[in-house]
């Protein structure tokens, strides 16, 4: 098993290298570069001399392959460079935002799984009853409603309700503080985006849990379990759910990795400085180093999540054996 993990970690290197080449080339395919944007942004005429100086500063005057070597060597030695726009170190730019995005992704996942598994199971074992219809409606609504709209509704609802109950509206905090510094402040800020994204997320997982459970409940071994006189509760959890979890786990992994970098609008609604907004800004500014760093981070999250999902598979299903 540990041998398998080592092998998988080594296999991450070509994946990450490939992603690096792709993002490096694609950024350079965009018309214009960071120096044009920086200097033209002053509203003055652009002198060729200033442009050349700026390009020399960022190493953009070197041939492409040399630039790529710099990029690759930097990452190999954990030197991620500086943002071309703010000139702060990349780690500084991303650090706190990654923490925020990761926290919301984790909280969203917990919310989603806590809602989705019970609902999916109930929906399957009460198939075609009113409970099933309620759950399915809830799930369809979750897929149809964008999380940023739900976010706006949550904020509006909170303002209105606190106005009615306490006489003055309560607005969620704007400034992010890590959870270990000020848990109450942190949670009162992050729980709402986690709920808003967790709802859509739970809808997807509820549907997958339901269909996987329906399939498993028709299996012969469920009939065997009934013939042994086992309680329905035991049959559902130990015998059925464990078998139904494989596709569900896959989906959880994909959705989790998506939450890390994909929450642009929802972050804006909740005034959060997460990775999604930073991504958009970095692309707009042609901030090569920052975009590269963000893409590499998201790729790394995907790769690690995939590995974790595969390891969880083996735990759920003993037929899957890694060596």
Note the residues at the interface with another protein (CB under 8 A).
219-221, 223-231, 234, 238-239, 242-243, 316-319
Query: Which residues, including other chains, have CB under 8 Å from residue 215's CB and lie 6 or more apart?
Result: 244
Smallest separation (angstroms) from another protein to the CB of 140 = 24
Q: What's the closest the beta carbon of residue 12 comes to another protein, in angstroms?
A: 29
Residue 92 or 242 having the CB closest to another protein: 242
Minimal distance, residue 223 CB to another protein, in Å: 6
Q: Which of 1, 199, 179 is nearest to 109 (CA)?
A: 199
Instruction: Report residue 126: phi and psi, to 5°.
Output: -110, 40
Nearest distance from residue 306's CB to another protein, in Å?
Answer: 21
Minimum CB distance to another protein smaller for 4 or for 316: 316
2 or 128, CB closer to another protein?
Answer: 128
CB atoms within 10 A of CB 229: 6
Q: Which two tokens stand for residue 74?
A: 């930097």
Q: Cα 183 to the chain's mean position, in Å? A: 22
CA distance 118 to 134: 13
Long-range contacts formed by 168-173: CB under 8 A, 24+ apart: 172/270
Q: d(Cα 56, Cα 60) in Å, to the nearest integer?
A: 6
* Measured torsion, CA atoms of residues 185, 267, 298, 100, in degrees rounded to the nearest 10: -10
Give the shortest CB-236-to-another protein separation in angstroms.
13
Are 313 and 29 in contact by the 8 Å Cβ rule? The answer is no
Nearer to another protein, 103 or 243 (CB): 243
Closer Cβ to another protein, 245 or 290, answer by number: 245
Take residue 1 and report the two structure tokens written for it.
């098993």
7 vs 223, beta carbon nearer another protein: 223
CB of 2 to another protein, least distance (A): 21
CB of 221 to another protein, least distance (A): 4
If the CB atoms of residues 167 and 229 are measured against another protein, the closer one turns out to be: 229
- The Cα–Cα gap between 230 and 211 comes to 23
The alpha helices in 228-274, defined as continuous H runs, are 232-234, 242-261, 264-269
Residues ≥6 apart with Cβ < 8 Å to 269: 148, 151, 152, 155, 193, 196
Q: CB of residue 175 vs another protein: minimum separation in angstroms?
A: 47
Q: What DSSP designation does 59 have?
A: T
Closer residue to another protein in complex, CB, 149/221:
221
């Amino acid at each position: 098993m540990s041998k398998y993990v080592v092998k998988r970690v080594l296999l991450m290197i070509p994946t990450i290298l490939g992603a690096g080449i792709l993002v490096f080339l694609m950024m350079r395919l965009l018309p214009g570069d960071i120096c044009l944007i920086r200097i033209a942004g002053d509203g003055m005429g652009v002198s060729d001399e200033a442009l050349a100086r700026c390009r020399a500063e960022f190493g953009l005057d070197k041939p492409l392959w040399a630039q790529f070597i710099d990029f690759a060597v930097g990452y190999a030695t954990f030197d991620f460079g500086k943002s071309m726009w703010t000139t702060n170190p990349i780690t500084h730019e991303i650090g706190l935002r990654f923490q925020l995005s990761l926290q919301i992704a984790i909280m969203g996942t917990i919310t989603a799984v806590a809602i989705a598994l019970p609902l999916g199971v109930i929906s399957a074992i009460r198939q075609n009853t009113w409970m099933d219809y309620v759950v399915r409606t809830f799930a369809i609504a979750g897929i149809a409603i964008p999380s940023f709209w739900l976010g706006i509704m949550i904020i509006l609802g909170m303002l209105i309700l606190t106005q009615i109950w306490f006489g003055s509206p309560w607005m969620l905090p704007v400034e992010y503080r890590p959870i270990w510094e000020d848990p109450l402040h942190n949670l009162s800020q992050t729980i709402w985006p986690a709920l808003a994204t967790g709802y859509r997320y739970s809808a997807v997982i509820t549907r997958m849990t339901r269909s996987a459970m329906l399939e498993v409940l028709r299996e012969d071994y469920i009939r065997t379990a009934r013939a042994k006189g086992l309680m329905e509760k035991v049959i559902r959890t130990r015998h059925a759910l464990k078998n139904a979890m494989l596709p569900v786990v896959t989906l959880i992994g994909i959705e989790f990795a998506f939450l890390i970098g994909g929450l642009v609008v929802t972050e804006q609604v909740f005034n959060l400085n997460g990775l999604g907004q930073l991504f958009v800004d970095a692309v707009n500014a042609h901030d090569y180093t920052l975009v590269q760093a963000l893409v590499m981070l998201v790729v790394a999250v995907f790769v690690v999540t995939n590995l974790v999902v595969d390891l969880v598979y083996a735990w759920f299903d003993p037929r899957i054996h890694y060596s």
